[in-house]
Structure 1
């Protein structure tokens, strides 16, 4: 079903659990600006969007947790204000009545070192990694991917992961400005510095998690700042090695949905193996008075995203 289709009115059963979602708050105490393609961004108003999200989530007595899909502060935030800006947003998240699970996005990495972010976000990290998993119920498992595992931002300049990322960019993107996709065609436009990739160790970890989930008869929801399906997002927004990640996902039948942010306009597609890909709409592009957040009701056979305003409600029914 496409986003915007009316949600079923015949669902009488209560959800197994529910969780809040928001992405790309990109707060900064600066005047409004525009994206590289000219879309308005409302840096101060995004804080109000988050505040309204927290109020809404807290009024929904059955939300078990919430997910922040990354980019809580904007790259244009003055660097001497970065820590204070991150803390301000985290203080707002702390007003939510349940736990909040965070992902690291490129704008986060423009502002603070990776090790600071994993600590501030309470991400269980080994050597700066930001992938982890949790099970809110015996039937479901959430896998949080680190989309900037291989990245030219966030790691020290002499880190092997930085070197690997730079080799990829130099091989795939001939532009002097590696954030510029100009001249690249089709899906190759993803090879820009504001994206990243998933390394071999994380891919092996994902494979092991999905194998274990299959053995436990669990359904898996993949969460990642960067989208994984070209049909759901612009090519400039895709994970560098989305194809390798999808190959791992498609080895198993346990993955039911992949949720992401980064591509601010949002998107939705169902892939060849019946996996739902939902890219969430960004808070930072909400004009004053509008919103982009929601919550997801989780059932045995579907996810139902109930969106506010610019976040489109979506019913994702699993294949039998």
Structure 2
């Protein structure tokens, strides 16, 4: 399959001044496609969760995206519901897209055998479980909200032991189908956003899990993550999935957009997002609503 335009955790982040041609490109509006929670599995429907229809809905969205001029298309986690073979069923839609894919990992993406958990990111051609990339004067941070989790690491691993201890001691009562962002990743987020601000870039953060408003689907350490992100003025928007009902909130000028899930609807749910100089315009399809978001300075 076509490889994305990524080969390491952070690319084009050298801190060098933009060339004249890059500066010109940075001033131009651009568009992306966005999908959350396609969540395929070869299993019967469960209430509103229509598992076997997922590949068809995904392919229809890809066919539409292919008619547009897009910088990339992001899938915001839970590409599958469970089972390593489910990735294979989604592969035709991955291959059909003529734009770069950017993937974020969700909790269901780790619903595979323990010996496959370390392979999930590579299966989706991701450079790492979290990474960044730049385009048109923006830096995008694709985060791993499963960094701390009860499901994202194999049994007996130090990562799982740490996650279980922190869940018990710091986040008692938090759902075990949510996750958190660990210290190393938090420091990376802070450093990446600091660098973006120093270089005059705007920043968008992709994650499977929401951070705001308060909701049972939020990251275990949503308050800590929110405090970090809002104090970094380069950060303009947080875009996520996980809560299939969708949501929206604004805190200290940071827009927090929860896309509706593609899985559990008779129609579909996805969006095209236009990045303009001072605002974002989200055009929703199916049950995804439209939004216009003015960017904080």
What TM bracket, shorter-length normalisation?
A: 0.7 to 0.9
Q: Matched residue of 2:61: which SS?
A: helix
Deviation at 1:150, TM superposition (A): 1.1
Q: Which residue of 1 aligns with 2:44?
A: 31
CA contact (8 A) 2:171 2:220 kept: no
CA contact (8 A) 2:238 2:255 kept: yes
Q: Which residue of 2 aligns with 1:192?
A: 175
CA contact (8 A) 1:173 1:192 kept: no
CA contact (8 A) 1:169 1:192 kept: no
- Alignment partner of 1:228 is 2:231: no
Distance 2:212 2:292 in 1: 18
Distance 2:155 2:117 in 1: 13
Distance 1:198 1:256 in 2: 19
Distance 1:169 1:319 in 2: 34
Deviation at 1:193, TM superposition (A): 1.2
Q: Which residue of 1 aligns with 2:62?
A: 54
- Deviating beyond 6 angstroms after TM superposition, the runs of 4 or more aligned structure 1 residues are none
Deviation at 1:315, TM superposition (A): 0.9
- Alignment partner of 1:302 is 2:279: yes
TM-score, normalised by the number of residues in structure 1: 0.80
Distance 2:272 2:244 in 1: 18
Unaligned runs of 5+ in 2: 1-26
Aligned counterpart in structure 2 of residue 148 of structure 1, from 125, 146, 149 = 146
Distance 2:30 2:131 in 1: 20
Q: Matched residue of 2:280: which SS?
A: strand
Distance 1:90 1:193 in 2: 29
Could you give the per-residue CA deviations for residues 170-208 of structure 1, whole angstroms, max 9, x where no partner exists? 34677xxxxxxxxx6xxxxxx111111111100110110
The aligned runs of 1:101-250 (5 Å cut-off) are 101-111=102-112, 113-125=116-128, 130-137=129-136, 139-171=137-169, 191-231=174-214, 235-250=215-230
- Alignment partner of 1:261 is 2:261: no
Unaligned runs of 5+ in 1: 1-13, 35-39, 76-81, 175-183, 185-190
Q: Which residue of 1 aligns with 2:52?
A: 44
- Alignment partner of 1:251 is 2:231: yes
Q: Matched residue of 1:303: which SS?
A: strand
- Alignment partner of 1:318 is 2:290: no
Deviation at 1:15, TM superposition (A): 6.1
Q: Matched residue of 1:72: which SS?
A: coil
Could you give the per-residue CA deviations for residues 136-157 of structure 1, whole angstroms, max 9, x where no partner exists? 22x1110011001111112122
Q: Which residue of 1 aligns with 2:16?
A: none
Number of equivalenced pairs: 269
Q: CA distance change for structure 1 residues 109 and 302 in 2, over 3 Å: closer, same or farther?
A: same
The CA RMSD over aligned residues, in Å, is 1.7
Distance 1:265 1:134 in 2: 28
Distance 1:255 1:167 in 2: 31
Distance 2:81 2:154 in 1: 20
Deviation at 1:111, TM superposition (A): 2.3
